[in-house]
């Protein structure tokens, strides 16, 4: 105890120093370490979140670019197909039109032929009728003085029958 | 001649307001000033002071984590506070006016009573710090590993373990003695050296000794705080985990 006294040991001062240190410990813990550590944690979280978001964005961008490529190639394929289809359709349409035209022309030709033949027949008929009338007139005029009226009629009818045959 | 005991400046009843206690209050003021200044400008984008404190806190926390692992959160405040308090107490003693400016006491042989004296050159301060360190270590040990394991460290039915336990108990006492006397001895001796050299050569010659004391102040603060951290880490680790660590090494 004497040694401690020589070193200036004072129980009251010792207690005061202990209390003083505990107060300082509390103040530093509550108002220095906690805010600083919280700030560091917050910053670490922010950086982690930022890095995670950047990584996600990078992956999304890569995915989007890949999808864009896919969509573009699909669109190109579809465009090619559409052009091919359009070409085929055009060719088919042209063929159809050609065939229709050909059929219509043939039909028109047949109709025209029929009409011509019908008209020819009618003309021939009319010509025959006109020739019969003319022959009757010629015969009537020429036989008028040579045969009686009854014979005249028989002769003319016979002649006309022969002509008509 | 500088006395071992801190000199009282004012007597308030049974409480002697000593020159080392005044330095303790100065250290408190510096630390509280630091806290206030930091909290005033605490922002997401740190200023110079915040940057410095963040760097210090992060470094010390990482160091604690590397030694104490998951107990770092509990140990870190003690580690850092011991370091800051002792460092400032050691370094303030090197300021001009400390141990040199004072008043004379005594009628026949007048002795100089300095108004200011480094807090850690007072045995009451270093013993107080060592006691806080020891008590906090044991409380932390009980709360972390439980009373059964804590007592199992010192008491056992196995005679060999009981013998080791008794040695451990003695070492707990010597820890307090060594922590307090190491710090007190180093800082007090430093003051003595500076006072002696300063009384012989007033200019230039004391400078290397001052530089040495700056280093000694830093080293002693580190030694005290790191030993406390190590004791806390060891006593907060269960026996079987310690055995595992040893076997993996």
CA–CA dist B64, B82 (Å, integer): 13
- Give which of A33, A42, A49 to mutate to test B binding, by max B Cβ within 10 Å: A33
Work out the average pLDDT over A13-17.
93
Residue B6 at interface with chain A, using a CB cutoff of 8 Å: yes
Write out residues 180-199 of B within 8 Å (CB-CB) of A: 184
How confident is the model over B207-230, as pLDDT tens digits?
999 999 999 999 999 999 999 999
Q: Give the model's pLDDT for residue A20.
A: 95
> A3-7, A26-30, A46-50: lowest mean pLDDT where?
A3-7
Question: DSSP letters of B220-232?
Answer: HHHHHHHHHHHHH
pLDDT of residue A68: 95
Distance CA(B199)–CA(B214), nearest Å, equals 19
Q: Which two tokens stand for residue B163?
A: 């013998």
Cα–Cα dist B149/B239, whole Å: 8
The predicted structure's pLDDT at residue B100: 79
Where exactly are the structural domains of chain A? 2-164
Residue with tokens 């045995």: B123
Mean pLDDT of A52-77: 95
What pLDDT shows up at residue B108? 76
User: B180 burial class (0-12, 13-18, 19+ CB within 10 angstroms)?
Assistant: buried
Where is pLDDT greater, at A23 or B115? A23
Confidence of residue A19 (pLDDT cuts 50, 70, 90): very high
Torsion (CA) B122, B124, B127, B131 in degrees, nearest 10: -150
Residue of B81, B136, B189 to mutate, testing the A interface (most A Cβ within 10 Å of its Cβ) = B81
CB contact under 8 A, A7 and B58: no
Residue ranges in chain B modelled with pLDDT below 50: 246, 249
Reported ipTM: 0.90
Considering only CB atoms, B35 lies closest to which of A22, A27, A37, namely A27
pLDDT digits (tens, 9 = 90+) for A110-135: 999 999 999 999 998 888 888 888 88
Give the residue from B177, B185, B93, B188 showing the smallest Cα distance to B127: B177
Q: How far is A58 from chain B (nearest CA, A)?
A: 26
**What is the CB neighbour count within 10 angstroms for residue B112?**
15
Q: Quickly tell me which residue has 């460092």 as its tokens.
A: B87
Crossing angle of helices B206-235/B159-200, nearest 10°? 160
Contact (Cβ atoms closer than 8 angstroms) between residue A33 and residue B57: yes
Predicted pLDDT at B203 = 84
Q: Give the confidence band of A97 by pLDDT, cuts at 50, 70, 90.
A: very high
Q: Return d(Cα A24, Cα A18) in angstroms, integer.
A: 10
- CB–CB of B80 and A21 under 8 A? no
Flag whether residue A65 sits within 8 Å of chain B, measured between CB atoms. no
* Closest by Cα among B125, B123, B121 to B93: B121
> Contact B6/A12, CB-based, under 8 Å?
no
Mean pLDDT of A50-73: 96
* Facing A17 at nearest CB: one of B16, B24, B44: B24
CA distance B190 to B200: 15
Spell out which residues of chain A touch residue B131, defining contact as CB-CB under 8 Å: 14, 18
- For position A165, what pLDDT does the model report? 66
Substitution target from B124, B127, B185 for chain A, most A beta carbons within 10 A:
B124
The domains of chain B are located at: 8-248
* Helix, strand, coil % in chain B, rounded to nearest 5: 75, 5, 20
């Amino acid at each position: 105890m004497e040694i401690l006294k020589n070193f200036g040991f004072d129980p009251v001062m010792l207690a005061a120093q202990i209390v003083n240190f505990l107060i300082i410990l509390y103040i530093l813990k509550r108002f220095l370490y906690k805010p600083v550590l919280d700030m560091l944690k917050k910053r670490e979280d922010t950086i982690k979140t930022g890095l995670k978001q950047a990584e996600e964005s990078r992956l999304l961008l890569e995915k989007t670019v890949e999808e864009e490529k896919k969509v573009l190639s699909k669109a190109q394929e579809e465009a090619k197909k559409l052009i091919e289809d359009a070409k085929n359709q055009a060719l088919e349409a042209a063929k159809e039109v050609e065939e229709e035209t050909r059929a219509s022309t043939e039909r028109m030709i047949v109709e025209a032929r029929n009409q011509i033949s019908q008209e020819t027949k009618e003309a021939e008929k009319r010509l025959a009728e006109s020739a019969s009338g003319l022959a009757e007139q010629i015969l009537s005029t020429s036989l008028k003085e040579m045969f009686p009226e009854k014979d005249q009629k028989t002769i003319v009818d016979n002649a006309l029958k022969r002509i008509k045959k | 001649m500088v006395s071992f005991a801190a000199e009282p400046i004012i007597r308030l009843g049974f409480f002697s307001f000593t020159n080392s206690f005044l330095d303790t209050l100065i250290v408190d003021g510096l630390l509280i000033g630091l806290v206030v200044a930091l909290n005033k400008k605490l922002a997401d984008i740190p200023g110079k002071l915040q940057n410095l404190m963040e760097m210090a806190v992060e470094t010390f926390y990482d160091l604690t984590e590397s030694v104490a692992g998951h107990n770092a959160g509990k140990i870190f405040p003690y580690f850092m506070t011991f370091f800051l308090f002792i460092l400032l107490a050691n370094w303030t003693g090197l300021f001009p006016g400390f141990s040199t400016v004072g008043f004379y006491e005594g009628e026949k042989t007048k002795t100089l009573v300095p108004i200011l004296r480094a807090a850690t050159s007072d045995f009451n301060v270093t013993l107080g710090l060592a006691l806080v360190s020891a008590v906090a270590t044991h409380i932390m040990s009980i709360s972390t590993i439980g009373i059964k394991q804590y007592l199992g460290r010192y008491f056992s039915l196995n005679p060999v373990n009981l013998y080791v336990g008794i040695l451990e108990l003695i070492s707990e006492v010597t820890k307090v003695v060594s922590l307090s006397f190491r710090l007190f001895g180093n800082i007090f001796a430093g003051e003595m050296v500076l006072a002696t050299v300063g009384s012989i050569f007033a200019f230039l010659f004391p400078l290397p000794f001052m530089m040495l004391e700056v280093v000694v102040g830093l080293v002693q603060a580190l030694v005290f705080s790191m030993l406390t951290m190590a004791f806390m880490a060891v006593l907060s680790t269960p026996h079987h985990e310690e055995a595992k660590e040893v076997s993996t090494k």
